[in-house]
Amino acid sequence: MPLKAVILIGGPQKGTRFRPLSFEVPKPLFPVAGVPMVQHHIEACAKVPGMKEILLMGFYQPNEALSRFLVSAQQEFKVPIRYLQEYAALGTGGGIYHFRDQILSGGAEAFFVLNADVCSEFPLQEMLEFHQQHGDMHSFVILGTTANRTQALNYGCIVANAGTQEVQHYVEKPSTFVSEIINCGIYLFTPAIFQHIGEVFQRNQQELALEESSNGWQRAEVIRLEQDVFTALAGSGKLYVYKTDGFWSQIKSAGSAIYASRLYLNQYSKSHPERLAQNKPGGPVIRGNVYIHPTASIDSTAVLGPNVSIGEGVTVGAGVRVRESIVLHGASLHDHTCVLNTIVGWDSTIGRWARVEGTPSDPNPNDPYAKIDSETLFRDGRLTPSITILGTSLLYEITLALLTEAASPLQLNPFVTIPAEVVILNSIVLPHKELSRSYKNQIIL
């Protein structure tokens, strides 16, 4: 069966919780477990038999980084990959409706739609088989998973028939408990979905025409699959849920990127064991799952892991300890530094004997259905404890800075200089700052 896949990558106005990391590269290209975030999606789609084309869809302006990635991905996965740019943010349904002719060209009988800001095992083949067993050419499948009762309120909630898995009721982010089955943001559609999206488009047009007070900024083309389409399809016999027991998480913030990296590194033991570093004579000490780019230079006395990703051209000195962290390309960790729960930005330098530490934002390990919480910047009037972020092109000389308590979101943007023996805790440092003292729980403008 001819298939296509659409990956919704959003745009620069989205992903604000991912800043300052998304200032340097588009969020979908941020490295998670050693490869760009969206590459995990592309790899999963390319493995599905009959996949004819993969379309990335969003409203990023075409840029060199995105173009270079698309060329590289096409060569690696041997499948056509294109980027379709929306003229504005059209919502999860508006974009695919706008480009419906591109999606259906070549006679695709079904297509997957995946949100780029999720990490998953991507059971796409299983969804396809489930659709063939339960549905027809006029039915559609949502990938679902189980969340705990409290966190389910933060997602689209699905009430399904226990026998047939037909979706009977769908509510996006309800105010009261509806169901523990949540929407994973991964769908399988047939061309019949465009009829239902078209009905929403026509209704939007009619409503805008009746609103005399409309100031023109509303668009009939802005359509949300979840609120506008799934809610109406529920109970019609055309929408089903395939429930997965595999891992799944959103990637909304920098803290969730470290958690997603851990999930993918765990999966590498089965899918890509060649990507995981091993303990070797004369090499660094590896604890747990660690990815090291072939071009990185790691001292033999360094200790890495668990859940560490070392990028291209990174230098790690003697006695360095790194755990639960992502170190991006070109960074340099000088001798005896300690980096915990941190994202070290591109070309950053951390001075000798420095300790850079953040607070992990993992789900509750004692609850098998717990998900990572969407972090807000403030809680009870204070900055929310989170991972530490060292932004791009920074000079870090935090020598002998022993952090006696968990560092919370330390976000340092380009051209910030941190002098020796300074401790920065739970602070956000904006660009073009040269600090001369320690800070705690502050946004430094």
Does the residue 259 lie in any domain?
Answer: no
pLDDT tens-digit profile, the chain (445 residues): 899 999 999 887 655 666 666 666 788 999 999 999 999 999 999 999 999 999 999 998 888 889 999 999 999 999 999 999 998 888 889 999 999 999 999 899 999 999 999 999 999 999 999 999 886 778 999 999 999 999 999 999 999 999 999 999 999 999 999 999 999 999 999 999 999 999 988 888 888 777 655 555 567 788 899 999 999 999 999 999 999 999 999 998 877 899 999 999 999 999 999 999 999 999 999 999 999 999 999 999 999 989 999 999 999 999 999 999 999 888 889 899 888 888 887 888 787 888 888 878 788 888 888 888 766 666 676 666 666 666 554 333 333 333 333 334 444 444 344 455 656 666 555 545 555 666 666 665 6
Adjacent-strand bridge partners of 181: 146, 158
110 and 234 in one domain?
yes
- Count of CB atoms within 10 A of residue 61's CB? 10
pLDDT for residue 415? 37
Q: Are residues 243 and 325 in the same domain?
A: no
Same domain, 286 and 412: yes
Q: How many domains does the chain have?
A: 2
pLDDT of residue 392: 52
Co-location of 242 and 296 in the same domain: no
pLDDT at 388: 63
For residue 199, the tally of other CB atoms under 10 A from its CB is 13
My answer on whether 44 and 113 are in the same domain is yes
Tell me whether residue 411 is in a domain: yes
Do residue 244 and residue 286 come from a single domain? no
Q: What is the CATH number of the domain that holds 303?
A: 2.160.10.10
Whether 105 and 214 map to the same domain: the answer is: yes
Same-domain status, 60 and 158: yes
Alpha-carbon gap, residue 316 to 322, rounded angstroms:
9
**Is 206 domain-assigned?**
yes
Its domain, for residue 147, covers 3-250
For residue 272, tell me if it sits in a domain: no
